Structure 1
Amino acid sequence: MENIVDIFKVLSNRTRVDILIWLKNPLEHFDKPTAHLNKNMSEKGGVCVGDIQEKANMSPSTVSHYLKMMQQVGLLESERHGQWTYYRRNESNIKQLVDIMKKDL
């Protein structure tokens, strides 16, 4: 897991926290199925950047930057299919973060 300070820096932004919440239960937060999802998509699923950008009501470049930051610290993982990238939570790293917070903070 990345430096915990870097993780908290990423989580210091409300939109990035919202993205993490939305991806916890994507069927609840994204009302339309992703049109570009193909049969080769991993069983783990994911949400297309465009759908996240639409829900966040922010520019594509800002949302892409946020997602990259979240991925770099290990909160998200991505899967690319053609021209589309799908993001999902990295549940094992999030669990590890929660365990560290319970034990050490």
Structure 2
Amino acid sequence: MLRTPTGETRLRILAWLKEPGPAADGVTADAVAERFSMPHPVAVTHLRLLQATGMLRTSRSEGRVHYHRDDMRVAEVARMFEKGW
């Protein structure tokens, strides 16, 4: 999932979510679509895949879903890849 061309986009999303602003507040699918110049449905797909793997968690604010990194899970997945999994 992370070793494909679209996987690189997901890695960029994860890196962005580590920055102070997005890390503190989380981001919406609209923000991801705008930041990475992609259609909203594509942003939603990337975010849902990252959420399904546990690397993102969600919260709701004002009726909108905000996505946040789960740094513990990201580190766990990184260790799996380092081991050649």
Q: Please classify the TM superposition score into its range, dividing by the shorter chain length.
A: 0.7 to 0.9
Alignment of 1:49 onto 2:29: yes
Alignment of 1:20 onto 2:14: yes
Compare the two structures and name the one with the higher helix fraction: 2
Residues 38-93 of structure 1: per-residue CA shift (max 9 Å, x gap): xxxxxx53122211110011111110111001100111111122331111111111
| Equivalent of residue 97 in structure 1, options 51, 66, 77 | 77
Q: Which residue of 1 aligns with 2:53?
A: 73
Listed as ranges, the gaps of 5+ residues in structure 1 are 1-8, 31-43
| Equivalent of residue 67 in structure 2, options 60, 78, 87 | 87
How many pairs were matched up? Answer: 80
| Equivalent of residue 63 in structure 1, options 43, 51, 56 | 43
Listed as ranges, the gaps of 5+ residues in structure 2 are none
Higher relative contact order (CA 8 A, sep 6+): 1
For residues 70 and 98 of structure 1, what CA distance do their matches in structure 2 show?
13
The residue type equivalent to 2:19 in the other structure is: N
How large is the RMSD of aligned CA atoms in angstroms? 1.9
Would the aligned equivalents of 1:16 and 1:66 in 2 still touch at CA under 8 Å? Answer: yes
Largest Rg, 1 or 2:
1
Identity over the aligned pairs, expressed in percent?
25
